């Protein structure tokens, strides 16, 4: 037995001899590195572990929406041939928002309750809120990839293909970023608001209305004759993403750009604040 | 110098719940192995949570390496590692990746991560299993992997929450060796347990907590002294009469007659076996058996915390 002071003097070889000394980083530098390392971990998992699952999870539903509404309905005469042109922006928005939402909320539920694996990340040298923010950022990246993959898929499935002639690329890019962030933030709200065993109920109650009231399958303007419903759809953040996509990809009439930007930004800020608050409540008892 | 300071820590989960920790204070010196002992629900995990940024204290102050945990959690996290009570390995990653990504969070370069991870896996008897998914690991292996992960970033302070609960004897001995090695290398360790033999063997000092309160704090030997009449000598002698008068000079004596002229005597106090033997010799008795009486830590624990089930 040695005394505490003798031991304190013998700090030379902490850990294994092959180990380099721990990087002496300032808390700020450590935070940046840790945040990037969390992204690296998620990227590794996405591309090395569950690429197929990720693609299936995010692309199956939009693929069948495109096929059924954009191809089958026009061919059997239940919709006009040009419908696909209106549908594509909506499906892009849907993929973006729903993928981001699911990729935030589902892992959160699992990692907080069943596997507890988030604990190791909460002990990484960065503020706990940034662990939550990383979840939002990465889910947004996944959603952006999924949305971009919709384009070649649509080119094959839709009878008229995809016409990128009149695309406003800057607007499209901004929508990819903001639309996915809005969806991911909403996912964080849903994923932290209820006990894990209730997430199925939340999805059943929120997801379906979100999909079908988001101006996904028709331009918002087309609801002029259904005024009460048109107003209700303005509560759904997806409406602004769909209309934004429509405005960036087509030259038909859409909600005014100012309203679109306001709707998306306001939703993102509100959901992110609420979601991160919920995340912290889970992360720190 | 204190590397861990806990000052009047209180924690209430939810506004109306009972207090999980109600006013606990202690300090841990640099390089010390400190044990937090207590029955289930005593508040051990909550105390560790407060020290490791995972629990927000209701009141009181906790600091690691002089840094207030509430004020600068990132700087605290840079210095500590935690092996939790329940497994929390990253289940989509392999064993090796669990270690390398952990090191990545702490800013290690790619080469360093891999080298250190392989060395630690080897040290913890997991060489050859580094590519396995951790789902396929046994409980003992998962525990060793979590400790290896904790050591990846060379923490100054290591928190082990019930590290040996549920381990087989081999894994437990292995862990004890590792803790002693880390202690020699200067790592400060705070561990919780309800295994008295473990606390006795590993800890420099022990705090016993119950119902969120610290009810004792001492070295293992000091704690054993808390038991009234816990020290002394127990002997069996052959003697024609009660040996009590002849032994009374050495301490408090209890005797009882047994068959065949034998007497059983318990001598309480600071009595050495040699003194007892000399006294037996002087009275002309024959010694049959002699044993040192030493309260176990278990006795102390039960004495302090009672026999109620938790
Ligand atoms: N997250 C929590 N929410 C509510 N109560 C909790 C929580 N964690 C612990 N408790 C309660 O606080 C008390 C102390 O628990 P804990 O610190 O885990 O004790 P120990 O680790 O000594 O077994 C227990 O009564 C436990 O039920
Ligand atoms: Mg506990």
Q: Which of B18, B20, B309 should be mutated for ligand 1, with most atoms under 8 A from CB?
A: B20
Q: Is B42 in the pocket of ligand 1 (CB under 6 A)?
A: yes
* Set of chain A residues whose Cβ sits within 8 Å of the Cβ of B93: 41, 45, 49
Q: What confidence score (pLDDT) does residue B246 get?
A: 83
Question: With bands split at pLDDT 50, 70 and 90, how would you rate the model's confidence at B213?
Answer: very high
Which of B17, B28, B31 is most worth mutating to test chain A (most A CB atoms within 10 A of its CB)?
A: B31
Q: Compute the distance from residue A92 Cα to the ligand 1 centre, in Å.
A: 46
Q: Which atom of ligand 1 is nearest to the CA of B85?
A: 21
Q: Are B90 and B97 in contact (CB under 8 A)?
A: yes
- The DSSP-derived string for A234-282 is GGSHHHHHHHHHHHHH--S--S-HHHHHHHHHHHHHHHHHHHHHHHHHH
Smallest CA–CA distance, residue B215 to chain A, in Å, is 24
Q: What is the ipTM of this complex?
A: 0.84
Average pLDDT, chain B: 89
- Residue A170 neighbours by CB under 8 Å, 6+ apart: none
Q: What is the mean pLDDT of residues B220-247?
A: 81
Q: What is the mean pLDDT of residues B251-271?
A: 84
d(CA A77, CA A80): 7
Q: Compute the distance from residue B24 Cα to the ligand 1 centre, in Å.
A: 15
Q: Compute the distance from residue A123 Cα to the ligand 1 centre, in Å.
A: 20
Q: What confidence score (pLDDT) does residue B203 get?
A: 94
Comparing A9-23, A173-187, A237-251, B167-181, the range with the smallest average pLDDT is A9-23
Distances (CA, A) of B139 to B70, B144, B302: 33, 9, 29
Question: With bands split at pLDDT 50, 70 and 90, how would you rate the model's confidence at B17?
Answer: confident
Tens digit of each residue's pLDDT (9 = 90 or more) over A198-227: 888 888 888 888 888 888 888 888 888 888
SS3 state of residue A40: helix
Q: Is B41 in the pocket of ligand 1 (CB under 6 A)?
A: yes
Pick the closest to residue B151 from A19, A8, A126, A41 (CA basis). Answer: A19
Q: Are B160 and B51 in contact (CB under 8 A)?
A: no
Q: What confidence score (pLDDT) does residue A118 get?
A: 92
pLDDT at residue B140 is higher than 60: yes
* Set of chain B residues whose Cβ sits within 8 Å of the Cβ of A23: 106-108
Comparing B71-85, B172-186, B287-301, the range with the smallest average pLDDT is B287-301
* Residues within 5 A (CB) of ion ligand 2: B 44-45, 85
Q: Is B46 in the pocket of ligand 1 (CB under 6 A)?
A: yes
Tens digit of each residue's pLDDT (9 = 90 or more) over A267-278: 999 999 999 999
Under an 8 A CB cutoff, do B78 and A25 touch?
Answer: yes
Q: What confidence score (pLDDT) does residue B189 get?
A: 96
A22 or A98: which leads in pLDDT:
A98
pLDDT at residue A265 is higher than 80: yes
Q: Which of B6, B13, B199 should be mutated for ligand 1, with most atoms under 8 A from CB?
A: B13
Tens digit of each residue's pLDDT (9 = 90 or more) over B175-203: 999 999 999 999 999 999 888 788 888 99
- In residues, how long is chain B? 310
pLDDT at residue B143 is higher than 50: yes
Q: What confidence score (pLDDT) does residue A21 get?
A: 55
Under an 8 A CB cutoff, do A21 and B154 touch?
Answer: yes
Put simply, the chain B residues between 25 and 84 with a CB less than 8 A from any chain A CB are 29-32, 49, 52-56, 72-75, 77-78, 80-82, 84
For residue B309, count other CB atoms closer than 10 A to its CB. Answer: 6
Smallest CA–CA distance, residue B281 to chain A, in Å, is 36
Which of B76, B92, B105 is most worth mutating to test chain A (most A CB atoms within 10 A of its CB)?
A: B105
Q: Please give the sequence-ordered ranges of beta strands (E in DSSP) within B121-182, or none if there are none.
A: 157-161
SS3 state of residue B174: helix
Under an 8 A CB cutoff, do B93 and A21 touch?
Answer: no
* Set of chain A residues whose Cβ sits within 8 Å of the Cβ of B53: 122-123, 128, 284
Question: With bands split at pLDDT 50, 70 and 90, how would you rate the model's confidence at A49?
Answer: confident
How many Cα atoms occupy the beta-carbon half-sphere of A163 within 13 Å? 12
Q: What confidence score (pLDDT) does residue B229 get?
A: 59
**Residue B105 near chain A (CB below 8 Å):** yes
d(CA B36, CA B51): 13
Q: Are A47 and A121 in contact (CB under 8 A)?
A: no
Q: What confidence score (pLDDT) does residue B308 get?
A: 65
Question: With bands split at pLDDT 50, 70 and 90, how would you rate the model's confidence at A1?
Answer: very low
Question: With bands split at pLDDT 50, 70 and 90, how would you rate the model's confidence at A35?
Answer: very high
Q: What confidence score (pLDDT) does residue A10 get?
A: 38
Instruction: State the pTM of this model.
Output: 0.83
**Residue B127 near chain A (CB below 8 Å):** no
Question: With bands split at pLDDT 50, 70 and 90, how would you rate the model's confidence at B157?
Answer: very high
Under an 8 A CB cutoff, do A23 and B108 touch?
Answer: yes
State the Cα angle at A94 between A89 and A99, rounded to 5°.
Answer: 135
SS3 state of residue B261: coil
Q: Is B13 in the pocket of ligand 1 (CB under 6 A)?
A: yes
SS3 state of residue A101: helix
pLDDT at residue B88 is higher than 60: yes
Q: Compute the distance from residue B42 Cα to the ligand 2 centre, in Å.
A: 8
**Alpha-helix runs per DSSP H in chain A:** 4-9, 27-44, 51-65, 73-75, 83-109, 118-122, 128-157, 169-193, 199-212, 227-232, 237-249, 257-283
**Alpha-helix runs per DSSP H in B9-127:** 44-51, 73-79, 95-105, 110-123
pLDDT at residue A27 is higher than 90: no
Tens digit of each residue's pLDDT (9 = 90 or more) over A101-157: 999 999 898 888 877 889 999 999 999 999 999 999 999 999 999 999 999 998 898
Q: Going by DSSP bridges, is the β-strand pair B262-268/B252-257 parallel, antiparallel, or unpaired?
A: antiparallel
Place of tokens 């207090």: B19
- Residue B99 neighbours by CB under 8 Å, 6+ apart: B113, B116, B117, B120, B121, B145, B148, B149, B152
Kindly identify which residue of chain B lies nearest to residue A29, measuring between CA atoms: B107
B34 or A58: which leads in pLDDT:
B34
Q: What confidence score (pLDDT) does residue A165 get?
A: 81
Pick the closest to residue A118 from A134, A102, A142 (CA basis). Answer: A134
Q: Is A21 in the pocket of ligand 1 (CB under 6 A)?
A: no
Q: Is B43 in the pocket of ligand 1 (CB under 6 A)?
A: yes
Pick the closest to residue A274 from A195, A184, A205, A186 (CA basis). Answer: A186
d(CA A134, CA A147): 20
Q: What confidence score (pLDDT) does residue A285 get?
A: 87
Q: Which atom of ligand 1 is nearest to the CA of B46?
A: 17
Whole-number CA gyration radius for chain B: 25
| Ligand closest to CA B46 | 1
* Set of chain B residues whose Cβ sits within 8 Å of the Cβ of A5: 31
pLDDT at residue B67 is higher than 50: yes
Specify which of B63-72, B187-196, B254-263 reaches the highest per-range mean pLDDT. B63-72
For residue B111, count other CB atoms closer than 10 A to its CB. Answer: 9
pLDDT at residue A2 is higher than 70: no
d(CA B175, CA B178): 5
| Ligand closest to CA B209 | 1
């Amino acid at each position: 037995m040695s005394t505490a002071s003798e031991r304190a003097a013998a700090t030379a070889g902490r850990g294994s001899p092959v180990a380099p000394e721990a990087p002496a980083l300032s808390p700020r530098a450590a935070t940046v590195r840790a945040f990037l390392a969390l992204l690296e971990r998620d990227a590794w998992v996405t591309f090395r572990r569950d690429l197929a699952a990720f693609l299936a999870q995010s692309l199956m539903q939009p693929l069948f929406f495109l096929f059924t509404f954009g191809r089958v309905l026009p061919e059997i005469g239940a919709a006009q041939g040009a419908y696909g042109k209106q549908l594509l922006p909506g499906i892009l928005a849907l993929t973006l928002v729903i993928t981001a939402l699911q990729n935030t909320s589902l892992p959160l539920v699992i990692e907080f309750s069943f596997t507890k694996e988030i604990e190791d990340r909460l002990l990484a040298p960065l503020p706990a809120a940034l662990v939550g923010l990383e979840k939002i950022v990465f889910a947004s990246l996944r959603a952006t990839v999924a949305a971009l993959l919709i384009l070649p898929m649509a080119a094959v499935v839709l009878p008229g293909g995809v016409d990128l002639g009149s695309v406003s690329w800057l607007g499209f890019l901004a929508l990819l970023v903001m639309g996915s962030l809005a969806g991911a933030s909403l996912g964080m709200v849903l994923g932290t608001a209820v006990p894990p065993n209730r997430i199925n109920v939340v999805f059943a109650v929120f997801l379906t209305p979100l999909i079908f009231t988001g101006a996904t399958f028709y331009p918002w303007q087309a609801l002029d004759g259904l005024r009460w419903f048109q107003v209700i759809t303005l509560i759904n953040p997806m409406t602004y993403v769909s209309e934004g996509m429509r405005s960036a990809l087509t030259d038909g009439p859409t909600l005014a750009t100012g309203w679109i930007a306001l709707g998306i930004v306001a939703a993102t800020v509100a959901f992110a604040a609420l979601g991160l608050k919920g995340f912290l409540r889970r992360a720190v008892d | 110098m204190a590397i861990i300071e806990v000052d009047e820590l209180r924690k209430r989960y939810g506004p109306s719940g009972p207090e999980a920790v109600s006013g606990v204070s202690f300090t841990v010196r640099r390089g010390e192995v400190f044990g937090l002992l207590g029955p289930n629900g005593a508040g051990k995990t909550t105390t560790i949570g407060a020290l490791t940024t995972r629990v927000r204290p209701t009141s009181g102050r906790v600091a690691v390496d002089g840094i207030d945990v509430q004020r600068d959690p990132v700087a605290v996290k840079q210095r500590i590692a935690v092996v939790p009570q329940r497994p929390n390995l990253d289940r989509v990653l392999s064993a090796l990746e669990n270690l390398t990504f952990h090191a990545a969070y702490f800013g290690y370069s790619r080469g360093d991560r891999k080298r250190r991870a392989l060395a630690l896996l080897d040290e913890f008897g997991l060489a050859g299993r580094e590519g396995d998914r951790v789902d396929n690991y046994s409980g003992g292996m998962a525990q060793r992997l979590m400790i290896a992960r904790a050591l990846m970033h060379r923490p100054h302070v290591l928190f082990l929450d019930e590290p040996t609960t549920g381990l087989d004897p081999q894994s437990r001995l292995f862990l004890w060796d590792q803790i002693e090695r880390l202690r020699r290398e200067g790592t400060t360790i705070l561990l919780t347990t309800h295994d008295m033999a473990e606390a006795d063997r590993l800890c420099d000092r022990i705090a016993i907590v119950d119902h969120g309160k610290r009810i004792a704090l001492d070295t293992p030997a000091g704690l054993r002294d808390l038991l009234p009449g816990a020290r002394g000598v127990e002997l069996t002698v052959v003697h024609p009469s009660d040996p009590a008068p002849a032994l009374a000079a050495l301490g408090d004596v209890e005797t009882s007659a047994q068959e065949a002229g034998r007497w059983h005597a318990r001598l309480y106090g600071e009595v050495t076996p040699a003194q007892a033997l000399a006294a037996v010799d002087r009275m002309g008795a024959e010694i049959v058996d002699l044993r040192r009486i030493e309260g176990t830590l278990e006795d102390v624990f039960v004495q302090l915390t009672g026999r109620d089930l938790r």
